[in-house]
Amino acid sequence: SYRDYVVGADTQIPLVNGQMTKAINFDNAATTPPFVSVIKAIVDFSPWYSSIHRGTGYKSQFSSMLYEEARKMVCNFVRADQGSQIVIFVKNTTEAINKLSYRLCSKAEDNVVLSSCMEHHSNDLPWRDKYKVDYIDIDQQGRLSLLDLEAKLTCYKGRVKLVAVTGASNVTGYRNPIHQIAEMVHRHGARILVDGAQLIPHAPFDMKPADSPEHIDFLVFSAHKMYAPFGIGVLIGPKSVFEESCPDYQGGGTVDLVTHDYIRWAPPPQKEEAGTPNVMGVVALMESMRTLSRLGMHQIDRHETSLLYYGLEKLRRIRGIELLGSHEHQNRVAIIPFNISGIPHGTTAAILSYEGGIAVRSGCFCAQPYVQRLLKIPPEEIKGRIDDPQAPHPGVVRISFGLYNTREEIDVLAALLQHIVLHKKAYLNKYQTISPPI
């Protein structure tokens, strides 16, 4: 069973009544637990690790060899073209996008970056202070509007340099048709960045599909959402982009020759990885990719989609539950956002945790403009919130599945939700002091 693949799937935790229960983790969009194989790989590698690149010792050379091998493995995992693209190891998706935002920066003031109304803040804010940013619109259900993308690409007449879109939303789970988007973007002479944070751990991904001329220019993702630890992520892009200009972080590892008045930068990717690299993180990521490949990304996708279908059906049947966005399970990773009418999102999340041992997340999930749109918050209310920093944030409850979650766990959630709906007043009285997280 998939259950045996992750660490701590059956951890016992206390409930508010003092009883112990099996923890249920429906917060995999934030971070997944590590694979058992990943922890083992870290332990197995630990006698051998050493600082990489310039060490002549056996361990350093061994570590360096593995570290460089990992770049090839990443390329194979997402079918990147090893000839033209490079893999840069970073801390996480956020660092990857920030790095790219500096690297693409051109002095030309009329360069436009198209982000979208469904992006995580990490794929929106880094662009704002460096480019003119515009946002591809979404439809009533919160899906990306391809019509609006085409309209914007046309209307900016070649000024769009980059279209930065998510592979899958961390709020609704919607998957974007990225290769179709890539075709549109390239037709207008721009490049595409795919934020793969929510897609890469859950579905197969080809940067360059064998049966299509389209390719993805830039891809970013985080290992901590794919059953490996925090602190390691990936930025993939055309080598040529990183050959020009200075790196954003400068220091050890980034240079080839330095005098007091001269710097010759090392070639990328070394130029982009300032300081001593995270070798253990890279070893962990390698093992997570190996394990995911062994399990099969298509199988994982199918399994998680069936959990999503099951969860949506269960929640739909509970009167008083308001599902956000589409009720469909197609073209979507396994994320369900909802509210219980009459109960603040933070209170619902607290009740699920204290009464059922169920970990979920509530709030806006670092996608405030998207959640504001999905909740149809009037502009004057948003304006009011700008003027009053103390005003509570709107939000929703989010459940997000990993490959090790089960239908039985969804049954436990559905039963508790049903109970909360039936005894709303009692729960509200008990939990009225819990304030929602931002």
HEC-encoded secondary structure of 133-172: EEEECECCCCCECHHHHHHHHHHCCCCEEEEEEECECCCC
Q: What Rg, from alpha-carbon coordinates, does the chain have?
A: 23
Q: Determine the interface stretch with ligand PMP among 56-64, 192-200, 253-261, 312-320 (rule: CB under 6 A).
A: 192-200
With CB under 6 A as the contact rule, the residue among 25, 63, 222, 347 that binds ligand PMP is 222
Least Å from the CB of residue 202 to ligand PMP? 11
- Indicate whether 124 belongs to the interface with ligand PMP (CB under 6 A): no
- Indicate whether 92 belongs to the interface with ligand PMP (CB under 6 A): yes
- Indicate whether 197 belongs to the interface with ligand PMP (CB under 6 A): yes
Q: Determine the interface stretch with ligand PMP among 58-66, 194-202, 266-274, 414-422 (rule: CB under 6 A).
A: 194-202
d(CA 298, CA 301): 5
* Annotation says 75 is catalytic: no
Cα distance between the two ends of the chain: 36
Residue ranges in 130-169 that form contacts with ligand PMP under rule CB under 6 A: 166
d(CA 176, CA 169): 8
Identify which of residues 197 and 334 has a Cβ nearer to ligand PMP in the complex.
197
- Residue 238: both structure tokens together: 């055309």
Q: In this structure, what are the phi and psi dihedrals at residue 191, rounded to the nearest 5 degrees?
A: -115, 160
With CB under 6 A as the contact rule, the residue among 195, 217, 272, 287 that binds ligand PMP is 195
Identify which of residues 25 and 92 has a Cβ nearer to ligand PMP in the complex.
92
Identify which of residues 97 and 300 has a Cβ nearer to ligand PMP in the complex.
97
DSSP secondary structure of 377-401: --HHHHHHHHH-TTSPPP-EEEEE-
Least Å from the CB of residue 109 to ligand PMP? 27
d(CA 61, CA 283): 14
Binding mask 336-375 for ligand PMP (x = CB under 6 A): ------------------------------x---------
Least Å from the CB of residue 94 to ligand PMP? 3
Q: With both helix axes pointing from N to C terminus, report the angle between 297-316 and 407-422 in degrees, rounded to the nearest 10.
A: 20
Tokens 């009011």 label which residue?
384
Least Å from the CB of residue 30 to ligand PMP? 6
- Indicate whether 28 belongs to the interface with ligand PMP (CB under 6 A): no
Query: Site size for ligand PMP, by CB under 6 A?
Result: 14
Give every strand in the sheet of 321-323, ordered side by side.
Answer: 321-323, 335-340, 396-400, 361-363
With CB under 6 A as the contact rule, the residue among 94, 98, 278, 288 that binds ligand PMP is 94
Catalytic residue, candidates 75, 117, 364, 366: 366
Among residues 31, 38, 16, 4, which one has the least CA distance to residue 286? 38
Least Å from the CB of residue 396 to ligand PMP? 15
The length of the chain in residues reads 438
Q: Which residues bind ligand PMP (CB under 6 A)?
A: 29, 92-94, 120, 122-123, 166, 170, 195, 197-198, 222, 366
Any idea which residues carry the catalytic annotation?
366
